[in-house]
Amino acid sequence: MLKRLWPALIAGGWALSGMAAAAGTDGEATAAVRKAVASLGPDVHIDVIAPAPLAGFYQVIAAGHLLYVSSDGKYMMNGNLIDLTARRNVSEDAWATFRKAELAKLPAGQGILFAPEHPRYTVTVFTDVNCEYCRVFHAHIDEYNRRGIAVNYLAWPREGITTTAGRETPTYAEMVAVWCAADRKAAFTAATQGHPSKPAHCDNPVKAQYELGERLGVDGTPAVIGPDGRMLGGFLPPDALLQALKESGQGG
């Protein structure tokens, strides 16, 4: 995977040499970029290829990373692209658009929603029932709701899905049990308080949600995503999260 290749690519100053191709048209450039990114590994899934604001480069979202690749497929850059005139992080703009579109595809009811009667904002939180700050976040759930913030939890077991021996990780198994419970909200709350549900198996979205989080650039929990797809951070106390939502002009 690209994530495993990344340290070597950065440390070694690795370039996409040998991948150059004549890019006389947009279609040819896209093909060159796709070929170059695919060369990073057999399992690299490309989600987005689009012209970048940077002349001569394409913006690529692949395997949970945002890259800038030259139109001839020869060079790759990793990092945030800043518009100095507008003073905007255009890389985060691209991520936000992608995250919002992908989250909108989730079937209704797939997450675990804690919401007030008339929410002003809804945030998506990739969470792990055993992570310390996820537990702190959920301990304040009533306060978030009182401030008009609905929280839709998606599963992201930080241990991953399976161990190196191919067995389910303990946290993955716990989160499957939560999503299989008759009362998911009660089971989730209990799990964050150190009272996991009995092991259970059912048709559940935990693995799919974990993989979605990886594609959206999640690398830790809690990962709080605003209504417009922007990553707002990890644990934010209720007033701080409300202020961040107000300042970003999202919803409400």
Query: What digits encode the pLDDT tens for the residues 185-226?
Result: 999 999 999 999 999 999 999 999 999 999 999 999 999 999
- CA count, 13 A, side-chain hemisphere, 105: 8
The pLDDT value recorded for residue 139 is 98
Where residue 126 sits, what CATH number does that domain have? 3.40.30.10
- Same-domain check for residues 71 and 115: no
> Is 96 a member of any domain?
no
- Same-domain check for residues 209 and 185: yes
Tally of domains within the chain: 2
> Is 98 a member of any domain?
no
* Domain end residue (candidates: 31, 62, 90): 90
- Same-domain check for residues 114 and 216: yes
- Same-domain check for residues 113 and 188: yes
pLDDT tens digits for 147-178? 999 999 999 999 999 998 889 999 999 999 99
The pLDDT value recorded for residue 15 is 46
Where residue 33 sits, what CATH number does that domain have? 3.10.450.70
| 131 labelled catalytic | yes
The pLDDT value recorded for residue 250 is 64
Q: What is the mean pLDDT of residues 224-245?
A: 96
Among the listed residues 131, 147, 180, 230, the single catalytic one is 131
- The confidence band for 43, taking pLDDT boundaries of 50, 70 and 90, is confident
pLDDT tens digits for 8-34? 444 444 444 443 444 446 788 899 999
Average of per-residue pLDDT values in the chain: 89
- Same-domain check for residues 138 and 233: yes
The pLDDT value recorded for residue 17 is 41
- Same-domain check for residues 74 and 152: no
Among the listed residues 99, 135, 147, 158, the single catalytic one is 158
Among the listed residues 72, 99, 134, 147, the single catalytic one is 134
- The confidence band for 46, taking pLDDT boundaries of 50, 70 and 90, is very high
> Is 97 a member of any domain?
no
Note down the domain range covering 13: 2-90
- Same-domain check for residues 179 and 152: yes
> Is 211 a member of any domain?
yes
- The confidence band for 53, taking pLDDT boundaries of 50, 70 and 90, is very high
Identify whether the C-beta of residue 202 lies closer than 8 Å to the C-beta of residue 107. Answer: no
The pLDDT value recorded for residue 70 is 95
Structure-block tokens of residue 200 = 């259970």
* Domain end residue (candidates: 90, 122, 151): 90
> Is 220 a member of any domain?
yes
* Domain end residue (candidates: 90, 123, 142): 90
pLDDT tens digits for 61-113? 998 999 999 999 999 998 899 999 999 999 999 999 999 999 999 998 999 99
- Same-domain check for residues 27 and 130: no
pTM: 0.87
| 202 labelled catalytic | no
- Same-domain check for residues 73 and 138: no
- Same-domain check for residues 139 and 244: yes
- Same-domain check for residues 63 and 113: no
Among the listed residues 72, 128, 135, 147, the single catalytic one is 128
Higher pLDDT: 45 or 251? It is 45
